[in-house]
Structures are given as C-alpha cells and as structure tokens.
A = this chain, B = another copy of it.
Amino acid sequence: MARRAKGKVSGQVSGQQSAEDRLIARHFKPIARHPGALGLTDDAALLTPPAGHALVITADAVVGGVHFFPDDPADAIAKKALRVNLSDLAAKGAQPAGFVLTLALPKGVGDNWLKSFARGLGADAKKYGCPLLGGDTVLTPGPVTISITAFGTVPDGTMLRRSGARVGDHVVVTGTIGDAALGLKLRKERGARRRWNLNAVLQRHLLGRYLVPEPRCALAEAFRQLASAGIDVSDGLAGDLGKLCRVSGVGAEIDAAKVPLSKAARAALAAEPGLLKTILTSGDDFEVVATVPPASLDVFLTAARVVGVSVTAIGRVTAAKEVQFIGPGGRPLSFARASFSHF
C-alpha cells in the first residue's frame, strides 16, 4: 500500500501544504474559477441549476493503454477525457455547467506532464463553458486513469432521451463517421499506412480525430428542441443506433452509402472496401446520432447550418425492431459485432 508522503513537514502543521495540495494549487486552481469550486480549498463543490432546470449528469473514464496511448500529449489526453463527457451532454441536449475530475497518476508523472494536462483541460473548460469544480488526485500502480463527471442543464423535463424515436422519423448523424477508428488502425497497424496510400494531410486528419474528438455542443439546443431521441456515437454507429432503437422499441433502415465519411475515410475505403464494417461498428466517433420527426427535419438542418455543424440524414426509423444497414446493390449488411464493448 503506497500510503507514504514524500514531503517532510516539521514542527507545527498549520500553514504547511502537502505536496498533493501544492499540485492542486499549482495546476488546477487556476482553471477552477467557477464560484462553486470554492477555489478548490474545500472538500466539495456547489452547483445549483437555474430555476426550472434539471441537472444532467454523465460520467466517463479514460484509461492509458485503453482509450489513449500512454505517450499521447498530456493536453490531448485531458481534452479527450473532458470531450467524451461533453459529447454525452450534447446528445442529451444539455448546456455544459461544469465538471469534477478524479486523476489517478503513476509515480514519476512529472510537473511538465501535469502542466500540459492542466493547460489542455483549462482551454477546453473555457471553450465549452464547462468549468472545473473539484476532484481528487491519487496515486496508482497502473496507468494514468482519468474519470470525469460532467454536468449540464436542461429546462425541466426536456432532456433528449434514447427512448423517443417514432416510426417514420429521420435518422441524422453529425460530422463524419469512422475517422477515429481508422486513425487508431493507422497507429496500431504499420501495414495500414501503405495499404490505404494516404497523403500526409489525410493521415493527420484520421490520427487527429482519434486523438481529440469534437463534441457537438453547438447543436445541443437544436437536438433538445427538435429531435425525438439521441445518443452519442462512442461505441460505433451501428451499435449505438441499435441501443437507441432498442430503448425506443423501434428499428431503423440506414442507407450505408449516405453515412457521412471524410475525404480520408473515403480514400481508405476505396483502397480497402472491407473497412466499411470498421467504419460503421467501431468506437470513438463521438458524433451524435439522433432521430428527427419529418415535420422538423428542415428546421433542424437549417439550425445545424447556422451553428456550422454538418448533419446528414442517413435513413428512417422503422417498426422492424432491428437496425438494417443497406449496402451496395440494396443488400443488407451484417456485422460480426455491432459495437465496441469492453467486456
């Protein structure tokens, strides 16, 4: 059990800070400016949603060697840890309100790593209006492990659920699908670079999409007001849409050719057509798939254009109780697995 202190405090104890306190004061206090954070000088934070609003709470952990590579830049790791949570808030139609962080660090993580981590975290906290409220730092014999609980607000009773999809609704998805999975493949398989024959720009695009996702917070309000159901695509489009349909008691028919792909993904797919299944069933997209009633589709697409997030209608909700992806030649695709699962 690693219950040892490195710092030595002699004489009386008041007025002295432990090394842990100093770490928090140096790196995290500067990014915890929300009054409810109490300057990180207390055991708890305070948060009150505005009158008539509910708090939306989501929690996601990322682990070195599982969700990121241990040698990824610390600021990118921090951003990913926060953004996977912001993506959930966006899919629920919630406005970010703040977050708490528990950070488990191996021995020997230096001041530079922490400085970069806090810089990345602080930049995103500011960018997305989601301030650090509090947390905990602990030692671990394992890899860097970051758990974030993020808070958002919605007017009472209006959180977008997985359960509201109705037969005939359009299925829409933000951004592009599959980039992160291809970026991960590029890092893991030397052969992929050669097979796909991508130029440096396209490679960088895929690698960057794996490293730091783009949460669709700008669309949260449109989702909340106009969509009937939503979920963030963290474990693969096919599987996550399947979850939404299961809870809604419906199915969906998706035209695989309409699933939005980046230029890089299209190039890779042209070189290796078998990647279609990777693209549709692998994790880490952090886009949002939602269902939108036909009467609202035009307004929704206009709202998306206004905030500058690309949105594509890829199919319709059906009564079939299953999600069918229709592939080339009108044949349904079948997948060995629908989505990423840790277990």
Q: Which residues of A contact B (CB under 8 A)?
A: 1-3, 5-21, 23, 38, 41-49, 51, 53-63, 65-67, 69, 88-89, 91-92, 94, 100-102, 104-105, 133-143, 145, 147, 149, 151-152, 156, 159, 161-163, 184, 188, 231-232, 235, 238-239, 241-243, 245-247, 251-252, 282-284, 320-324, 332, 334-343
Contacts and interface: CB of A to CB of B under 8 A. Distances in A.
A228 to B, nearest CB: 14
A24 to B, nearest CB: 10
Contacts of A3: 66, 184, 282-284, 340
A290 B289 CA distance: 50
A322 to B, nearest CB: 4
B135 A140 contact: no
A56 B41 contact: no
A342 B1 contact: no
A343 B19 contact: yes
A323 B184 CA distance: 53
Contacts of A21: 243, 341
A185 to B, nearest CB: 10
8 contacts: A7-B341, A8-B337, A10-B335, A13-B338, A44-B58, A45-B56, A65-B140, A141-B142
Contacts of A152: 44
Contact of A100 (B6, B59, B63, B324): B59
Given A57-B133, A104-B61, A12 B341 contact: no
A16 B338 contact: yes
Contact of A231 (B12, B43, B140, B251): B43
B59 A134 contact: yes
Contact of A139 (B38, B94, B343): B343
Nearest to A42: B162
Nearest to A89: B44
Given A57-B134, A58-B134, 9 more contacts: A1-B65, A3-B284, A6-B343, A12-B332, A13-B241, A46-B57, A48-B54, A61-B102, A65-B141
